[in-house]
Each structure stands twice: as structure tokens, then as C-alpha cells.
Structure 1
Amino acid sequence: MPSRSESAVGLLVAMQAFLIWGLSPLYWNHLSHVPAFETLMHRVVWSLAFLVPILVFQKKMGPFLKALTSLRTLAVLTVTTCLVGGNWFLFIWSINHGHVMQTSLGYYINPLVTVFLGMIFLKERLTTRQKIAVLLAGLGVAWLTIDYGTLPWISLALPFSFAFYGLIRKVVDVGPLVGLTVETLLMAVPATLYLGNLAAAGDGVFLHTGVATDLLLMGTALMTALPLLLFNLGAKALTLSTIGFIQYLAPTCTFLLAVFYFKEPLDPSLVRTFLLIWSALALVTWDSIAVYRRQAKPAEAA
């Protein structure tokens, strides 16, 4: 069991990861003059250039090559590549088109979607509190749909794509860093071809818009890999219940940015929806803590 000092350091490191994720709309907004798809392609290419040396440094090239030579693993990771690539693109597009509030709502919903998919596909039995939480989340989305007259598709597409990504990744035994590097490599091939064609036609942004834009595009690698590495380092010294609490730091930061920085309107419909979602998350968190305490007691006795 980690010591108190290790847990404190782990908490600070993990919080840094969630802060980066939560404040990332500020970064992506500075690339709003670049088409979202072109930004995504740069994110993929520069991320691969950043991740491979880390794999070498951490001596994980063996598992990486093993994943590439396993047809089953490669097939599963091809599916997850499509899901994570779509999730990245939608997030960038949403930020640059003034939908920061919807992205915040989406990532608040994400834990609830994960619980829902576990019930549907893994036949996990939900507790009473979890059932009520899923119902509250459904009511929140339905309320917003009725008031707006349209489905909040961004707030649903983001959590569902990420939850399915997590669900399918359970099928293969690869670590987060190795899996992300394989997924990035699979995307890097078409991304390199796309950016090469843009450069040949003289339509690409890179090296044509200014040094600041070039550095921001290269920095997308850090925005992708750095929080993941920080999270993996911090999570080793933390309990699941602690991680469950601090994961809400990211959507909370995004929510505050949407209101106070991007000045997006917070109308009564959104307030009601957020209140229902926050109530649902409180129930899920309460349930997770209760389960953790029940499981911890026999372990302490042993």
C-alpha cells in the first residue's frame, strides 16, 4: 500500500493531468484559425514523434512490437483508433465552434455512460443508487432536448465514443502508453499522407501562418501525451475512489471556462440539466465509496 507521502504526490500529479484536460479548450481555441481536421492530423503526427522516444526510454518497445504483430490485438486497436480519433476531432471541432459548454456536459456524463454500457454489454448489475443516477442523467438529456428542440448530440457523442473506447480496450491486454502509441501509429499513416498532399498543394497551415501556429501545432503532442503520462504516474498511488472524485476536476474547469472565459450563455434549461447530472454523479460517487469501504474492510482484517 502506498505511503501517505506517496499518495500526496500521486494526488498532485493526477490533479495536474485533469487540470490540463480541463483547461485544454484554451489551447485548442488558439488554433481555431486552423481547420479542425488539419489540427487533428498534426496532433496525430506530432504525438507519434513524442510517444516513440518515451516507449524507448521506458523500455516498452517489446510490448509495442508484440501488439503490432498480433492480428487480434491489431484488429481491436484499429476499432479503438477510429473511436479515439473521432473523439479527438469532435472535441477540437466543438471548442472551435463555440460548444465548450456541451463538451463539459459530455464529460460529466461520461462516468454515467460507462456504468450504463457496463450494464448493457458486460451484464453488470447496477445498485439502486446507480440505477437512479442513470435515470437522472437520462432525464437531464431529455429535458434539454425538449427545451432546445434538438438532441445535444455533442454532449452524447463525446461520452459514448470514449466509453465505447474504454469498453473495447478491455478486450486486449496492452498498457495505456503502448495502446495509445499503436493507435497513434495507425492514424499517423493517413495523417502523414493528408498533410503531405496539403503541403504539395500549398494549402497547409504549417510553415505558412507564422511561428506561433507552428509551435502550437507541434505542441499538440504534449497536450495529448503529457496528461496521460501524469495520470498513469499519479493513479498508481491513489485509490479508485480518490480518482473517482478528482476526475470531475476536468469537466468542472471546462464548465467554468465556458461561462467566464468563452461567455457562453447559461440558460435555465442548461442549469436544470447540469443539476440533474451533478446529482447523478453524487449518487455514483457515493456508491463507489460505499463499495470501496466494504471491500477494504476484509483486506484490512486479513
Structure 2
Amino acid sequence: MSASVGGAVYAALAYLAWGLFPLYFKQIAQVPALEVILHRTLWSMVFVMAVLLVLRRWAWLGEVLRQPRLLARFGLSALLLSCNWLVYVWAVQQGQVLDASLGYFINPLVNVALGYLVLKERPRRLQWLAVGLAAVGVLWLALQTGHIPWVALVLALSFGFYGLMRKMASLGALEGLALETLLLAPLAAVALGLMSWQGRGALAQGEPGTIAWLLFAGPLTAIPLLLFAAGARRIQMTTLGLLQYISPSLQFMLGVWLYHEPMSGSRLAGFAFIWAALAVYSLDGLWQSRLRG
């Protein structure tokens, strides 16, 4: 398997898992979004550190901890990731799965723009057409609702910049995630400890089932992120943009058919522009594959 094909498989699996995340967060809807993020951070760190212990891959950590600039970069990527997590969990808990899916439909636009501006990638004409169609869809949705779709934009921008930083990172997928969670886990542990000491939060008041779901956040969060980071380092940002549609498509189907969120005709028209962009983008990718074959 070539590096590019392997990278595509890793990224696709990550997006498949993320697309099904609303099913998980609905199980812990009674836990506030910020508290969920604290648990995700802490238990992800525990899970990743256990993996490093089993693999005996510790040598890199001492050197990294002596590089303030590298720590600062990974601290920034960790904050971007936490922001993305917080807004996403809040949106799902507030019955805005469709808005969350829109954010991840927009994310390929961000990937293409960042690839062009930062990595000097050159999208083809059909790719720019796809970007334009999706931009029209986003603008239409904003006009129909009368306000900027801030949930969608925050999700798209935060994860777009996170993906760029991980693509340019000097550490591997596992090491990078370990460092990100290690930087944030002490804050999460202190916050959860204070909440429990005050008799608040799931650890102090929650039922065993709820606590078990929160502990499960560790592997459930870390494994897709590891897959994504491994994929992002092997394929172009524009390819990531194509695979990105797996996740919001699943979220969209869950929002409409399982959670019965409202979908008016005018709102559906906005999504249709974005789906047309996906079709153009996909056809361009297939055409280029045939030319290379």
C-alpha cells in the first residue's frame, strides 16, 4: 500500500468515527459540554500514555520538553482542538447536529484555502469551482437564517487550522497527540478535582453508567485523532477536503432522520449547493486519477 493510499484510508476511518459521534454525545447529554471536554482531555491523555508505555516510545519526550517553541506550537494546536471539541459537544447537546454538520461541510473550503495560502498547493479549476459553489451555499444559509452561522464557522476554522498545524508538525501522530493532551490534562485534572471536592460534576453525582461513558471518551477521542494525524501527514490538504465530507454527511443523516431536527426547503437549498460542490470535487478527483492511470 502506497503512503498516499494508506493516508487516505487512515483519514477516511477517522471521519467515519467522527460522523457517528452524535450517538455518543447524546448518551451523556446530561453532562455540561465543558465538563465533557475536561473528561475527554484527561482520559485521552491516560489512554495515549498507556499506548506509549506499551510501545516503549518515550525517548522523544525529554528532548521535546526542552524546546519552548515546539511546546508553544503544540499548545496552540491543543487549544484549537479543545475549542473545536467544546463547540461541537455544545451543538450536539443543544439539538444543533445539522449546524455542526454544516461546519464540517465548510471545512474543506478552509483546507483548500490554507493549502493554497500556506502550503502553496495549486487547486485546479474544477476544485476552485467546487469551492465557489460551497461558498454560495454557506452565504445562502447565512441569508436565510439572518445571522452568520457561527457554530459552523468556528468548527470549520478551528479544525482547518488544527489540520494544517498537524500536517506541518515535526512529531508523529501518536507523539503529537500525547504532547497536546499532556499540556492540557493538568488543567483538566485540577478542574475536575475542584468540581468533585465541591460535590459537583459527574464524578461526584453521576451514576456509574454516566461515569463509564465519560471514561470511554479517552479511546473514543484518541483513536480517530491518531488516524487523522497519520492521514494528514501523508496526503494533500485538498484530498483531506474530499474525505472530510464523510463525517458531515453522516451527521446530517443523523440530525434529520434520527433526531428529527427541522429542515426547511430554503435551508435544504443551501445544503444542495454544498453537495453540488462535493460532486464537482469528486468528479475532478476521479478524472485526475484516470489521467494518471
Q: How high is the TM-score relative to the length of structure 2?
A: 0.88
Pick from 16, 29, 34: which aligns with 2:31? Answer: 34
Q: Deviations over 1:22-77 (max 9, x none)?
A: 11101111111111101100111111111101122233322344333322211111
Q: Deviations over 1:222-249 (max 9, x none)?
A: 220123345678x59x987997765433
Q: CA deviation at 1:251?
A: 1.6
Q: Does 1:160 align with 2:157?
A: yes
Q: Structure 2 residue aligned with 1:95, among 92, 109, 113?
A: 92
Give the percent of matched residue pairs that are identical in Structure 1 and Structure 2: 38
The Cα shift of 1:170 comes to 3.6
1:178 corresponds to: 175
1:280-299 matched pairs, under 5 angstroms: 280-292=277-289, 294=291, 296=292
Q: Which amino acid aligns with 2:90?
A: W
Q: How does 1:41-60 map to 2 (within 5 A)?
A: 41-60=38-57
Shift of 1:16: 4.9
Letter in 2 for 1:211: P
1:106 correspondence with 2:109: no
The residue aligned with 1:204 is 201
Provide the TM-score with structure 1 as the length reference.
0.85
Moved more, 139-148 or 169-178: 169-178
Structure 1 vs Structure 2 CA RMSD: 2.7
Map 1:250-289 → 2, pairs under 5 A: 250-289=247-286
Distance 1:93 1:225, change over 3 A: same
CA distance in 2, matches of 1:40, 1:125: 36
Report SS of the residue matched to 1:206: helix
CA distance in 2 between counterparts of 1:221 and 1:230 reads 14
Q: State the AA in 1 paired with 2:29.
A: S
Q: Which residue number in structure 2 is paired with residue 20 of structure 1?
A: 17
Q: How many residues align?
A: 288
Q: Please list every run of 5 or more consecutive structure 2 residues that lacks an aligned counterpart in the other structure.
A: none
Aligned-residue offset at 1:284: 2.5
Deviation of 1:146 (Å): 0.9
Work out whether residues 16 and 230 of structure 1, in 8 Å CA contact, stay in contact via their aligned partners in 2: yes
